[in-house]
A and B are shown apart, each in its own frame.
Chain A
Amino acid sequence: MASSPWDNIRDEFPILDQKVNGHPLVYLDNAATTQKPRAVIGTLDRFYAKDNSNVHRGLHALSMRATDDYEGARQRVATFINAAAPEEIILTRGTTESINLVASSWGGANLAKGDVILLTEMEHHSNLVPWQLAAKRTGATLRFVPVTGDEGLLDLGALDRLLTPEVKVFAFTHVSNTLGTINPAAELCDRARKVGAITVVDAAQSAGHMPLDVRAMGCDFLAFSGHKMASVTGIGALFGRRALLDAMPPWQGGGGMISSVDLFESRWKPSPERFEAGTPNFGDAVALGASCDFLDSLGRDRIQIHDGDLARTAYDRLSQLPGIRLIGPRGERGGLVSFAFANVHAHDVVTFADEDGIALRGGHHCNQPLMKILGLTSTVRASFYVYNEEREIDALVASMRRTLRFFGTEA
């Protein structure tokens, strides 16, 4: 039988081979950042060892190679999400910068008093605060699609009432980083389009975990980060439909984004250069291209099944613990579980898990409004990726039982 890249997948991630506090590392903080495979680390190493030079306008061999590498990465990202052309891919620092770019540039040019920005109650601060800033600057107002309590679904019944003609943009997360909910992105884009609103999809938690096709989804903008999809920190992408990008003003000025400059005014290049002022992060972009290759060698449909299966197993196993409150949907979900105990705070749970070599995250997960709506101040989150195994859920549950016993809850 042909070998599969899944066969020895843990060997691909050198960081996993270590002990933490005397126990084999169980890394379950993947929604915060994933680990990096040798393929990505090696690409970064090769780029800096062989090709490194500033991109664009260079007339020497290294600069031409680096430019080819950089533009090749843009092309690779375009293919990864099935964008129509590489010009629809702007390389950014990550999801947060991508959303700020849209809120600032598109929002500044297209929003005015009387307009409505529609968001949801489950947005990460990165898809909330940029819109609060845009609303302040333009006089537009914010409106929110409610979440249906602990089950963590969007209240789609409320959409008809909320998606009025005043809504100019609907920005929502594809997969919730706290609830694990997978929102019906194509349906939401379709309904927004019917009232003439553009859509902005936060794909930070989906890009590395499931197949993405921006044309099938029908979104206008889509943002994601490299470091949450097996690539490195400091690089990410914004997809935008060509017609929208070409009509948008620059959001930062500098070298690389101009076609000509006079003392008192300048003219801009088209997308993507218009939105990439200054020396771009070409080294990390090459690593982003490598992570696209790596994830496609595993198959993103299989990654989605793998991560989702682990999350559902963890949900079922954890639900047997006394005093536990699991939030997010019971069935179909992204690769994470989020929970709180009645008598033990999330940060105490995380400290005890660390003692067992288990990396978890506890807190509000940059979801403070959602936490308030659910009447919580923090949750514990375990999030999974391609290298996690069912035995690590055994370790997680055992650690939770030990912590509950320590704090006086029979488990």
Chain B
Amino acid sequence: MSADLSDLYQDVILDHNRRPRNRGRILSANRSAHGDNPSCGDQCDVFLRLDGDRIAEISFEGTGCAISQASASLMTTQLKGKSQAEAEKLYGEFHEIVTTGKPPEDMSDLGAFAGVHAFPARIKCATLSWHAALNALRGDPAPATTESHRD
């Protein structure tokens, strides 16, 4: 297997794809948002229970490739307990990782997505669930779509 491909399908990603965390609908959610990627048909719903400014619970449902499913799963583990401002900041770092391939030194498991940058068509797969989560946090009623903004 090429270096690019093994960088893309890191063990962390394969693990989250195989055993997604926080998958399903939170019944007590007070925020949710839908995201889709029209060019490949991926769908993602993110459910949040906000406690004050903090994400008390977060989950996702959706279909898509290993990259999109693992990204959604890993995102839920990273966003729990975060405020909206912290979530936006974390997304900024994640976006930097998937577009440049350079994870910051103290980066968590999110660094596993550095390999995505070598596959530009897959960047949208990695960012879809994040867009849905941020929309839910912002209370934006419009569905997140990877076609209306730049990744």
Contact = CB atoms under 8 A, between A and B. Distances in A.
Report if A and B associate in a common complex: yes
Interface stretch (A47-55, A296-304, A308-316, A348-356): A348-356
A371 B1 CA distance: 32
B9 interface: yes
Contact of B41 (A348, A355, A378, A407): A378
Contacts of B63: 345, 377
Interface in B18-54: 18, 39-43
Interface string A333-374: 000000000001111100110010000001110001001000
* Interface footprint category on A: 10 to 19
Contacts of A407: 14, 66
A345 B63 CA distance: 9
A377 B41 contact: yes
A42 to B, nearest CB: 33
A350 to B, nearest CB: 9
A157 interface: no
B9 A406 contact: yes
Contacts of A346: 65
Given A348-B65, A348-B66, A368-B41, A408 B5 contact: no
B1 A355 contact: yes
Interface in A356-411: 362-364, 368, 371, 377-378, 406-408
A21 interface: yes
A115 B41 CA distance: 33
A345 B2 contact: no
A345 B65 contact: yes
Given A363-B41, A364-B41, A378-B40, A355 B66 contact: no
A19 to B, nearest CB: 13
B8 interface: yes
A364 B43 CA distance: 12
Interface of B: 1-2, 5, 8-9, 14, 18, 39-43, 63-67, 69, 119, 122, 125
Instruction: Rank and list the top 5 A-B pairs by shortest CB-CB distance, nearest first.
Output: A347-B65, A345-B65, A364-B41, A377-B63, A348-B66
10 contacts: A344-B66, A345-B64, A345-B69, A347-B67, A351-B5, A355-B5, A363-B39, A363-B40, A377-B64, A378-B41
